[in-house]
Amino acid sequence: MPNIWILRIGHRPQRDKRVTTHVALTSRALGASGIFVDTKDNVLEENVNSVVDRFGGEFVIETGVHWKKKLKSFDGEVVHLTMYGERLDEAMPKIAGDRDLLIVVGAEKVPPEVYQAADLNISVGNQPHSEVAALAIFLDRLTDGKNLYSDRDGQMTVIPNERGKTVVEKHT
Ligand code: SAM
Protein backbone atom coordinates (compact mmCIF):
# COMPACT_ATOMS: atom_id res chain seq x y z
CA MET A 1 0.00 0.00 0.00
CA PRO A 2 1.26 3.54 -0.76
CA ASN A 3 2.38 5.78 2.10
CA ILE A 4 -0.11 7.87 4.05
CA TRP A 5 1.01 11.27 5.32
CA ILE A 6 -0.79 13.84 7.45
CA LEU A 7 -0.51 17.63 7.14
CA ARG A 8 -1.62 19.54 10.22
CA ILE A 9 -2.38 23.22 9.53
CA GLY A 10 -2.83 26.03 12.05
CA HIS A 11 -1.03 24.37 14.98
CA ARG A 12 -0.59 26.74 17.93
CA PRO A 13 2.01 25.13 20.24
CA GLN A 14 0.52 26.33 23.55
CA ARG A 15 -3.15 25.96 22.74
CA ASP A 16 -3.08 22.84 20.58
CA LYS A 17 -0.33 20.81 22.22
CA ARG A 18 -2.58 17.97 23.39
CA VAL A 19 -4.80 17.83 20.31
CA THR A 20 -1.89 17.90 17.85
CA THR A 21 -0.12 15.20 19.87
CA HIS A 22 -3.30 13.13 19.59
CA VAL A 23 -3.54 13.82 15.86
CA ALA A 24 0.03 12.51 15.49
CA LEU A 25 -0.46 9.45 17.72
CA THR A 26 -3.74 8.56 16.04
CA SER A 27 -2.08 8.87 12.63
CA ARG A 28 0.70 6.55 13.76
CA ALA A 29 -1.61 4.05 15.44
CA LEU A 30 -3.78 3.78 12.33
CA GLY A 31 -0.92 3.24 9.92
CA ALA A 32 0.29 6.60 8.59
CA SER A 33 3.98 6.96 7.77
CA GLY A 34 4.32 10.41 9.28
CA ILE A 35 3.00 13.87 9.99
CA PHE A 36 3.98 17.34 8.84
CA VAL A 37 3.04 20.18 11.21
CA ASP A 38 3.15 23.78 10.01
CA THR A 39 4.51 25.41 13.18
CA LYS A 40 7.91 24.51 14.62
CA ASP A 41 7.38 22.67 17.91
CA ASN A 42 10.34 20.81 19.44
CA VAL A 43 8.33 19.58 22.44
CA LEU A 44 5.72 18.01 20.16
CA GLU A 45 8.48 16.28 18.18
CA GLU A 46 10.09 14.95 21.39
CA ASN A 47 6.79 13.62 22.74
CA VAL A 48 5.84 11.83 19.53
CA ASN A 49 9.36 10.47 18.96
CA SER A 50 9.38 9.13 22.51
CA VAL A 51 6.27 7.04 21.75
CA VAL A 52 7.85 5.82 18.50
CA ASP A 53 11.06 4.86 20.37
CA ARG A 54 9.10 2.81 22.90
CA PHE A 55 6.30 1.35 20.80
CA GLY A 56 8.15 0.87 17.51
CA GLY A 57 7.46 1.49 13.86
CA GLU A 58 8.91 4.00 11.45
CA PHE A 59 6.67 7.01 12.07
CA VAL A 60 8.21 10.39 11.15
CA ILE A 61 7.28 13.81 12.56
CA GLU A 62 8.46 17.06 10.98
CA THR A 63 7.41 20.45 12.35
CA GLY A 64 7.92 23.93 10.93
CA VAL A 65 6.79 22.74 7.50
CA HIS A 66 5.64 25.38 5.00
CA TRP A 67 2.16 23.99 4.24
CA LYS A 68 1.66 25.75 0.90
CA LYS A 69 4.95 24.40 -0.41
CA LYS A 70 4.14 20.93 0.90
CA LEU A 71 0.75 20.95 -0.84
CA LYS A 72 2.40 22.04 -4.07
CA SER A 73 5.31 19.65 -4.01
CA PHE A 74 3.53 16.56 -2.71
CA ASP A 75 3.75 13.72 -5.21
CA GLY A 76 0.41 11.97 -4.74
CA GLU A 77 -3.22 12.60 -3.92
CA VAL A 78 -4.36 15.28 -1.44
CA VAL A 79 -7.43 14.75 0.73
CA HIS A 80 -8.73 17.51 3.01
CA LEU A 81 -10.97 16.50 5.91
CA THR A 82 -13.65 19.11 6.55
CA MET A 83 -17.25 19.00 7.68
CA TYR A 84 -18.14 20.92 4.49
CA GLY A 85 -16.75 18.27 2.19
CA GLU A 86 -18.51 15.59 0.19
CA ARG A 87 -19.85 12.50 1.92
CA LEU A 88 -17.29 10.00 3.13
CA ASP A 89 -19.10 7.01 1.64
CA GLU A 90 -19.32 8.69 -1.76
CA ALA A 91 -15.74 10.01 -1.71
CA MET A 92 -13.87 6.88 -0.60
CA PRO A 93 -14.24 5.07 -3.95
CA LYS A 94 -12.75 8.12 -5.70
CA ILE A 95 -9.41 7.71 -3.90
CA ALA A 96 -6.99 6.19 -6.40
CA GLY A 97 -5.23 4.00 -3.83
CA ASP A 98 -2.13 3.52 -5.97
CA ARG A 99 -0.45 6.82 -5.05
CA ASP A 100 0.79 8.28 -1.77
CA LEU A 101 -1.89 10.15 0.13
CA LEU A 102 -1.58 13.46 2.01
CA ILE A 103 -4.44 14.02 4.46
CA VAL A 104 -4.91 17.63 5.58
CA VAL A 105 -6.52 18.47 8.93
CA GLY A 106 -6.93 21.92 10.42
CA ALA A 107 -6.73 23.28 13.94
CA GLU A 108 -9.00 26.27 13.35
CA LYS A 109 -10.48 27.80 10.21
CA VAL A 110 -8.71 26.41 7.17
CA PRO A 111 -7.80 28.86 4.34
CA PRO A 112 -9.80 28.55 1.07
CA GLU A 113 -6.58 27.66 -0.79
CA VAL A 114 -6.61 24.27 0.90
CA TYR A 115 -10.09 23.51 -0.48
CA GLN A 116 -8.82 24.46 -3.94
CA ALA A 117 -5.56 22.55 -3.71
CA ALA A 118 -7.12 19.31 -2.43
CA ASP A 119 -8.08 16.59 -4.90
CA LEU A 120 -10.93 15.71 -2.56
CA ASN A 121 -12.61 17.61 0.29
CA ILE A 122 -14.20 14.92 2.44
CA SER A 123 -16.54 15.17 5.41
CA VAL A 124 -16.78 12.57 8.13
CA GLY A 125 -20.38 13.41 8.88
CA ASN A 126 -21.72 16.96 8.37
CA GLN A 127 -21.49 18.02 12.01
CA PRO A 128 -18.52 19.83 13.55
CA HIS A 129 -16.43 17.55 15.76
CA SER A 130 -12.74 16.88 16.08
CA GLU A 131 -9.81 16.41 13.75
CA VAL A 132 -8.78 13.41 15.86
CA ALA A 133 -12.16 11.74 15.38
CA ALA A 134 -12.32 12.63 11.68
CA LEU A 135 -8.85 11.25 11.07
CA ALA A 136 -9.46 8.05 13.05
CA ILE A 137 -12.65 7.20 11.19
CA PHE A 138 -11.16 8.12 7.82
CA LEU A 139 -7.94 6.10 8.33
CA ASP A 140 -9.80 3.12 9.70
CA ARG A 141 -12.09 3.04 6.63
CA LEU A 142 -9.17 3.61 4.27
CA THR A 143 -7.19 0.69 5.69
CA ASP A 144 -10.16 -1.59 6.50
CA GLY A 145 -9.15 -1.66 10.17
CA LYS A 146 -5.94 -3.56 9.35
CA ASN A 147 -3.61 -1.42 11.46
CA LEU A 148 -5.43 -1.56 14.79
CA TYR A 149 -3.38 -4.51 16.07
CA SER A 150 -0.52 -4.63 13.57
CA ASP A 151 2.88 -5.51 15.07
CA ARG A 152 5.28 -2.53 15.32
CA ASP A 153 8.18 -4.55 16.78
CA GLY A 154 8.58 -2.03 19.60
CA GLN A 155 10.51 -2.14 22.86
CA MET A 156 7.06 -2.35 24.41
CA THR A 157 4.09 -4.27 23.02
CA VAL A 158 0.66 -4.22 24.58
CA ILE A 159 -1.10 -7.58 24.42
CA PRO A 160 -4.88 -7.20 24.20
CA ASN A 161 -6.47 -8.51 27.36
CA GLU A 162 -9.97 -9.00 28.76
CA ARG A 163 -8.89 -7.49 32.09
CA GLY A 164 -5.71 -6.00 33.49
CA LYS A 165 -2.68 -4.81 31.55
CA THR A 166 -0.29 -7.06 29.68
CA VAL A 167 2.83 -5.41 28.32
CA VAL A 168 5.76 -7.31 26.85
CA GLU A 169 9.10 -5.53 27.06
CA LYS A 170 11.98 -6.42 24.78
CA HIS A 171 15.39 -6.63 26.46
CA THR A 172 18.27 -5.80 24.15
N1 SAM B 1 -14.95 24.61 10.41
C2 SAM B 1 -13.98 23.58 10.45
C3 SAM B 1 -14.11 22.54 9.32
O4 SAM B 1 -13.78 22.87 8.20
O5 SAM B 1 -14.43 21.36 9.53
C6 SAM B 1 -13.99 22.98 11.86
C7 SAM B 1 -12.68 23.18 12.53
S8 SAM B 1 -12.36 21.84 13.55
C9 SAM B 1 -12.09 22.59 15.09
C10 SAM B 1 -10.71 21.37 13.13
C11 SAM B 1 -10.59 20.31 12.07
O12 SAM B 1 -11.36 19.18 12.43
C13 SAM B 1 -11.06 20.70 10.71
O14 SAM B 1 -10.10 21.46 10.02
C15 SAM B 1 -11.25 19.32 10.06
O16 SAM B 1 -10.03 18.82 9.55
C17 SAM B 1 -11.70 18.46 11.25
N18 SAM B 1 -13.15 18.20 11.29
C19 SAM B 1 -14.04 18.62 12.20
N20 SAM B 1 -15.26 18.15 11.94
C21 SAM B 1 -15.14 17.40 10.83
C22 SAM B 1 -16.06 16.63 10.06
N23 SAM B 1 -17.36 16.54 10.37
N24 SAM B 1 -15.59 15.97 8.98
C25 SAM B 1 -14.29 16.04 8.63
N26 SAM B 1 -13.37 16.76 9.32
C27 SAM B 1 -13.79 17.41 10.41
Residues 8 and 107: their CA atoms lie apart, in Å, by 7
Q: What is the pLDDT of residues 87-129, one digit of tens each?
A: 999 999 999 989 999 999 999 899 999 999 999 999 999 999 9
CB of residue 16 inside a 6 A radius of ligand 1? no
Residue 165 pLDDT class (50, 70, 90 cuts): very high
CB of residue 81 inside a 6 A radius of ligand 1? yes
> Which pTM does this prediction carry?
0.96
Beta carbons of 79 and 42 less than 8 angstroms apart: no
pLDDT at 1 over 90: no
CB of residue 127 inside a 6 A radius of ligand 1? yes
Residue of 142, 154, 133, 43 whose CA lies nearest to 102: 142
Compute the distance from residue 56 Cα to the ligand 1 centre, in Å. 29
Q: What is the pLDDT of residues 27-74, one digit of tens each?
A: 999 999 999 999 999 999 999 999 999 999 999 999 999 999 999 999
Compute the distance from residue 170 Cα to the ligand 1 centre, in Å. 39
